[in-house]
Amino acid sequence: MPPKRLGLDASLAVDVGENKSYAEMTLCPVCQDFADTPRETDCSYRHMFCSTCISQVLNARGPCPVCRGNITKVSKLSIMNKNMFDMVKWKCLNHEKRCTWTGSKKELEAHLDNVCPEQEGECPHEGCTAKMRRALLSDHKAVCEHRLIPCDYCTQGIPAGAFDDHPTTCIGFPVECPKKCGVFVARSRVTHHLENDCGEGVTECPMLGCAARMKRKDVAHHVRSFTQHHGMVLSEEVKKLKKQVFHLSHTAVRDHDDCFSVMMTVPNYETTLQALVPGMSFCSEDFSFQGHSFNLILWPRGKGRDNRQAEKTELWLRASDGYEGVLKGVVSIDMVGRQHPATFSFQKHYGEAQPLGQDAHRRRPPNGLTPICQTVLETLRQNATFHNGTLKILLKLTAPALNQQPIVVGSRTCGGPIRRRGVPRPIGGGLVAGVNSAGLSLGTDGANPPAAAQAEAPAAAAAAAAAASASSSSSSSAASSVSLSRPSPY
């Protein structure tokens, strides 16, 4: 802390020997007070001043205030002058009030702050403005109304003047239960007592399934009196819980299924459909699900195997690589004029006996081909209109998780004709058609194609070429091949 300016002068110096003359030398000639942090000048007489006073003179480039000599710098006191400052003795500022203390300037500051009985002081309690002699201050503090008294219940310090009224608001003061149960609780715990402990409070029977309500003090008697009833109710609740656990376990299994979405697009479908004959099909690119290869095959006018199947629009899912398991799926087809897409669900078993009409014990068909939507797809041929003439079939697959990520093995969204190996052979022979930027590409898949297909092939090619020419002025996506959009989980 910086030294205090006490307003000392020569009259306060102890008049013993040369002490008074030394005291006069410690007074600053400018402010006439004791020179705190004194400094010496380089004038001829080495006069001493307060550091604050002489700094102002030096900044103004003035002469020595005492001898008017030239000053170029100031410095700390010499050892001799410093000893002189420390040796000077001063009287207490309250010496006229019979305080006989004497000491150095530093000791005088401590005496006035803590010891002098004649020094006037303020009451230290917050809110009290009383001032008096230190000799009387100790007695005042003992009876001051602003002194803090600790409460035995809430442990807070309460001003003495408000202590008598404190029990009416004390949060820890014990009060009687409002329901007159005979218990006293702390004021802050009354609500908790009423909700959890009060014997007069109403509560439900703690036994699972029992909805009886009673006073809390009667719960024990109720439990003893209705043991048989509680046993029957508990049995029913256990049955309900078992059903819930069974449902949750199956839900948890379904939540960990592998899911996969893929879209097959056929540009210019409405125009191309007019040129197709039974036995012609659209094939998607291969895609991977659970580490196995799949693809979609669409027969718009049936597989052409016999007259019964000739006019049935069919969608098949081909699984290769020896896939075994249960596949669930949903097929969605978006059409103009329908508020929601046409949606069909299916569930197929691969690698095991599966019900297929009368051949209930037949294994999976050759090449893993399985029908997922057959006659229900007649909407694709009868009065069906598609956005921009493009058929889009969205397939969503679900199967029990195998803890492996699906890898895409083949995907093409646009470009030239599809040239894939392993295109599945239509059952009974026929033509496999793929749409490219030049129109309809026809290829024979089988040694003996049906006569109808041979007769209508030139017409189909011509119609497809016309469709491609009509669509060349539109967007590039309209000329894209039968394709598989990038798969995304759902």
Return all residues near 474 (Cβ < 8 A) that are at least 6 apart. Answer: 388
Three-state DSSP at 78 gives coil
| Euclidean distance between CA atoms 54 and 62, whole angstroms | 10
Q: How would you class 428 by CB atoms within 10 Å of its CB: exposed for 0-12, middle for 13-18, buried for 19 or more?
A: middle
Which helix (H) or strand (E) element contains residue 463? helix 451-471
For residues 83 and 467, what is the distance between their CA atoms, to the nearest angstrom? 116
121, amino acid identity: G
Q: Of the candidates 256, 295, 294, 251, which has an alpha carbon nearest to the alpha carbon of residue 399?
A: 256
Amino acid identity at 407: I
CA 256 vs CA 225, 287, 350, 400: distances in Å: 48, 21, 20, 7
DSSP lists the bridge partners of residue 439 as 436
Q: What is the DSSP letter of 296?
A: E
Ordered domains of the chain (ranges, CATH): 10-114 (3.30.40.10), 258-484 (2.60.210.10)
The 10 Å CB-count burial string (b at 16+, else e) for 238-255 is eeeeeeeeeeeeeeeeee
Question: Percentage of the chain with pLDDT > 90?
Answer: 27
Q: What percent of the chain has pLDDT over 70?
A: 69
Q: Which residues of 449-476 are buried (b: 16+ CB within 10 A; e: fewer)?
A: bbeebeebbeebbebbeebbeebeeeee
Give the pLDDT of the chain (490 residues) as one tens digit per residue: 566 678 888 889 998 888 888 898 999 999 988 888 899 999 998 999 999 999 999 999 999 999 999 999 999 999 998 998 888 999 999 998 889 999 998 899 899 988 899 898 889 999 999 999 888 988 999 999 999 999 999 989 999 999 999 999 999 999 999 999 999 999 999 999 999 999 999 999 988 888 899 999 999 999 988 888 888 888 888 888 877 776 665 554 455 688 888 888 888 777 777 777 787 888 888 888 888 888 888 888 777 665 555 567 788 888 876 788 888 888 888 776 666 777 888 888 776 433 333 343 444 444 566 677 654 455 555 556 676 778 888 888 888 876 544 333 333 333 333 333 333 333 333 333 333 322 333 333 333 333 333 334 344 444 444 444 443 333 333 333 454 333 333 2
d(CA 407, CA 289): 7
List pLDDT tens digits, range 323-344: 888 888 888 887 766 667 778 8
φ and ψ at residue 454, rounded to 5 degrees: -65, -35
Whether the model pTM is above 0.75: no
**Per-residue model confidence as pLDDT tens digits over 171-222:** 999 999 999 999 999 999 999 999 999 999 999 998 888 889 999 999 999 9
Please report where in the chains the tokens 């000791």 appear, as a residue: 107
β partners of residue 214: 203
